[in-house]
Each structure stands twice: as C-alpha cells, then as structure tokens.
Amino acid sequence: MSQPLPASLRDLVADTLEIEPDEVTPELNTETAENWDSFRHLQLMLGVEGEYGIQFDPSAIAHLTSVAAIQDALIKKGVTF
C-alpha cells in the first residue's frame, strides 16, 4: 500500500499490542510483533470493527495478519480515514 498509515489504526494496533505508536509500521505482522497472539488478534479485530463501524467475515480475519493487510481490507470495505 502506498497510502500512509492512518493515525487511528496505528493507535489501535499500538494499544492492543502494548507498543509505542511509532513502532507500528505497515509491515508489522503476527510474525514480527511479539505480542500479536490469537487473543490480541481477536481483540484488535473487535477494536477495528468498533472504531470504523464495519464487520469482517470471520474467515477473512485469519488472513488479516499484518497492519497493511488490515488497512487494505478497511479500504475495500469503503472506510475513509
């Protein structure tokens, strides 16, 4: 994605994973982020859904394993930041 990372998404990821906002990059993913386990993933997904007022298909959630992928999915849902 060439679009910049929206601050709201950056903060959500940072708060869920308990890291600093500036540690959140589009490349950050479940492999590179130490804290990003399945429960935090669920928590993050619920947080994202609440923040942007959308719902993901549960089978898509398993693939949203990086910040960029989440941002991409939000744009496909028509979310503007």
Interface positions with other proteins (CB under 8 A): 11-12, 15-16, 18, 39, 42-43, 46-51, 55, 58, 61
Q: How far apart are CA 37 and CA 52, in angstroms?
A: 22
Cβ-proximal residues to 3 (8 Å cutoff; 6+ apart), any chain: 71, 75
Compute φ and ψ for 29, nearest 5 degrees. -145, 180
Least distance to other proteins from the beta carbon of 27, Å? 21
Between residues 2 and 24, which has the closer beta carbon with respect to other proteins? 24
Residue with Cβ nearer other proteins (51 or 72):
51
